[in-house]
Chains A and B, each alone.
Chain A
Amino acid sequence: MFSQYFGNYLLNRGLIRPDQLTDALEYQRSMRLKLGVIAVNAGYMTPAQVEEIHNMQKKVDKRFGELAIEKGYITEQQLEEMLATQRQGHLMLGQALVDRGHLTIEQLQEALDNYRKEYGMSSREFNVVRKDDSLEIEQIFRDYGEALLGKLYSDYVTLLIKNLIRFVDDNPTVEINQLKSDITAQWFASQEIYGKINMLTAIACDRDVFVKFAAKFAQEDITEPDELAQASVGEFLNLHNGIFLVNMSNNGVELEMNPQQVETNRTLANPGKAYVITCHMTWGRFDVILV
């Protein structure tokens, strides 16, 4: 998650462009060893077991290692070994930005120092975060994400990033902003969540991105914003919101949702407290709106 938040910080400060960040994240991802590969190489798991865990991750919001232990495929000690192997080969976002020529080392150092000061992190916390140490990082970022967005929206956005990686197989860069004016979108897929908490969630984008999003998620040859394309983008939102509802249910908050809707040329009047999560993918940009 650090990559996404630090990337967002660099974008907001105008230090890099979205395409440069996307490029660095892709480079970072291509260099990262997956835990499944490490597990098979170490002889701890079979490829079929790895595939099974990957499929489970599409339904439950849990880490690879956590599920593999629950299934009895690996021990906690073996997971520690695997994570250590992964960390050794892990390329930090800052290094990826420098390697790809988007920042100089001096610019990176200055940005990291400013980031640490602005978010008031201790040196220890910052070192954990900077190393992308996933076990500790989630708690630290839960605190900073919550300070920025509030707990509910922070949980929602964290899950959104994970689900874009899981279901659309891309490394999104997100910019988070408060909605300050009306928003008009050529294509607008939305779904209402209701119960103890009421939220309108929506994906807003232009035609081209809508079609690409649909094709990526459905893994179908979609070239027009036809009924299948609309069903695909709507279903991504439905799937993501469904997992969010399961997480909330596990925390004792039961919520319901209405069927998803897809509209064209929709204008959403500024409803007051709302956020726009702009997601930069390798194939285009779309907004997720949370009201």
Chain B
Amino acid sequence: MSKSRPTILICDDSLLVRKKMKDCLNEFGDFTIIEASTGQSSIELFRQYEPDLVFLDIVMPDKNGIDALKEMMEIKKDVKVIMLSSSGTKSHLKAAMEAGAHDFIQKPWEKSQIEHILRNIF
């Protein structure tokens, strides 16, 4: 992990998921972690902090993750967004990949998956 203190945005309406992800990330490195609990707030925080990596849930209040992903890609084309969902249906996978997601992880994740992603990106 070469870059010093990267910023990671976690977008999920569940406090539990955000907590577990934060605990997991802190095991693997030193990150500035930002949290969003709705689709709309994830866009606002994305603009404000310009994170290096985003973990983005699909089913969220006020704006779903696929729409949020599309907006993020318009703001910053090379952003790495990892979709994180309990529902890895064919249509969700297709929509996420077409919209430019870097990867798709079905919940519950394994720590090794997160570690692998962090090693590849940083």
Task: Give the B-binding residues of A (Cβ under 8 A).
Answer: 55, 58-59, 218, 220, 227-228, 230-232, 234-235, 238-239, 241-243, 245-246, 248-250, 254-260
Contacts and interface: CB of A to CB of B under 8 A. Distances in A.
A57 B82 CA distance: 22
Given A259-B59, A259-B61, A242 B107 contact: yes
Nearest to A193: B87
A218 B16 contact: yes
A238 B108 CA distance: 11
Interface stretch (B43-51, B72-80, B88-96): B88-96
Given A55-B110, A59-B108, A259-B59, A234 B14 contact: yes
Contacts of A243: 86
Interface string B26-56: 0000000000000000000000000000000
Contacts of B108: 58-59, 239
Contact of A257 (B61, B87, B90): B87
B19 interface: yes
Contacts of A220: 16, 19
B89 A245 contact: yes
A258 B19 CA distance: 22
Given A58-B108, A257-B59, A228 B89 contact: no
Nearest to B111: A55
B86 A228 contact: no
Nearest to B18: A231
Nearest to B106: A59
A242 B86 contact: yes
Nearest to A240: B86
B15 interface: yes
Interface in B78-122: 85-91, 106-108, 110
Contacts of A59: 88, 106-108
Contact of B16 (A228, A241, A242, A250): A228
Nearest to B113: A55
B13 interface: yes
Contacts of B25: none
Given A241-B86, A245-B89, A259 B15 contact: no
B17 A231 contact: yes
A249 B89 CA distance: 6
B16 A245 contact: no
Nearest to A55: B110
